[in-house]
């Protein structure tokens, strides 16, 4: 089975644009002629895709990040080097396999948020903290599938050194057949594009 997730705002107009082509821009990024934000990830022969229909939210910027991680042992050194104190405490509160699942979930959430920012691992992972919390719930009208009830929210706290371009974050994660899948949504009310460098 291939795990897939698509956070999508409810819209009956999405189907009307389903035949639009997605191509490559001159800067190498994928672009579309439709109001659709996309992200993808792969791990151990499986893939996760996220598509966020922006619909008539023209005045609000939306971005999505997806990450998929195989639940593998994460060493104490990895946890100490890449996770913040709050994240380390969350991981340490579990034992055995659950400890590894938590470490991978935190790592996956960080990667999803950094994809929203189009930063990847060029940013210091100590500049953001991702831990479970209801304040990280996805915005109204956006849900994660399959099985929306299986996704748990995580909160995102950013260090001032991490340039967020005025975005506020929400996210959710879940375990899925030996993997951890994470989705992050970035929203802002400013109409300037994230890629324009607007704050």
- The secondary structure of 35-60 as a DSSP string is SEEEEEEEETTEEEEEEEE-TT-TTS
User: Domain residues for 180?
Assistant: 8-196
What CATH number is attached to the domain comprising 19? Answer: 3.90.470.20
pLDDT at 126 over 70: yes
Residue 66 domain-assigned?
yes
Burial class (CB in 10 A: 0-12, 13-18, 19+), 130: buried
Least confidently predicted of 2-11, 90-99, 119-128, 137-146 = 2-11
**Could you give the percent of the chain with pLDDT greater than 70?**
74
How large a percentage of the chain has pLDDT more than 90? 48
Predicted pLDDT of residue 51: 87
DSSP annotation of 137: P
How many domains is the chain built from?
1
- The pLDDT-based confidence of 146 (bands split at 50, 70, 90) is confident
pLDDT digits (tens, 9 = 90+) for 47-103: 999 988 876 654 347 789 999 999 999 999 999 999 999 999 999 999 888 999 999
Residue 1, in any domain of the structure: no
Look over the chain and give the mean of its residue pLDDT values, rounded to a whole number: 78
Domain membership flag for residue 3 = no
Residue 153: its pLDDT value, please? 93
Q: Is residue 2 part of a domain?
A: no
């Amino acid at each position: 089975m291939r795990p897939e997730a698509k956070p999508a705002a409810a819209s009956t107009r999405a189907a009307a644009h389903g035949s639009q082509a997605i191509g490559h821009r001159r800067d190498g990024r994928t672009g579309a002629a439709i109001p659709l934000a996309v992200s993808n990830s792969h791990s151990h022969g499986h893939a996760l895709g996220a598509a966020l229909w922006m619909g008539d939210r023209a005045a609000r910027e939306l971005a999505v990040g997806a990450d998929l991680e195989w639940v593998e042992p994460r060493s104490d050194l990895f946890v100490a080097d890449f996770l913040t104190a709050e994240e380390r405490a969350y991981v340490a509160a579990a034992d055995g396999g659950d400890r590894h699942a938590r470490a991978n979930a935190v790592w996956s959430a960080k990667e999803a948020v950094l994809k929203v920012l189009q930063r990847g691992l060029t940013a210091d992972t100590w500049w953001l903290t991702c831990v479970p919390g209801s304040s990280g719930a996805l915005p109204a009208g956006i849900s994660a599938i399959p099985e929306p009830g299986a996704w748990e929210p995580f909160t995102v706290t950013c260090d001032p050194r991490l340039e967020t371009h005025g975005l506020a974050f929400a996210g959710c994660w879940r375990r899925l057949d030996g993997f951890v899948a994470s989705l992050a949504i970035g929203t802002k009310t400013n109409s300037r594009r994230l890629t324009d460098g607007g704050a």
